[in-house]
Amino acid sequence: MTGPGRPATVTGSADDDTARNLADALTYLARVVSDAGYHSVAVDILALRDRMNCIAKAEEARREGGS
């Protein structure tokens, strides 16, 4: 389980794809909440999107590196 102070861990061969798909979904969600006027929430969602993109990049590098 993840939470404040607990790192998110991701394992498996398709995890970079999953993380990218989640990042795409978060981008859409941020746009929807921003259009609804919840701009501060959109900022938080975009921060989560950035974390998912970092996870995707790390998983892709791990897979390509053979670790």
Token representation of residue 22: 């989640």
Per-residue pLDDT of the chain (67 residues; tens, 9 = 90+): 455 554 555 555 578 899 999 999 999 999 999 999 999 999 999 999 999 999 999 998 988 886 5
Other residues' Cβ atoms within 10 Å of the Cβ of residue 67: 6
Q: Which pLDDT value is given to residue 15?
A: 85
**φ, ψ for residue 6, nearest 5 deg:** -115, 125
**C-beta of residue 10 within 8 angstroms of C-beta of residue 55:** yes
Q: Which residues of 7-46 are buried (b: 16+ CB within 10 A; e: fewer)?
A: eeeeeeeebbeebbebbeebeebbeebbeeeeeeebeebb
Q: Which pLDDT value is given to residue 1?
A: 40
Q: Which pLDDT value is given to residue 18?
A: 92
Sketch the domain layout of the chain as residue ranges.
15-65
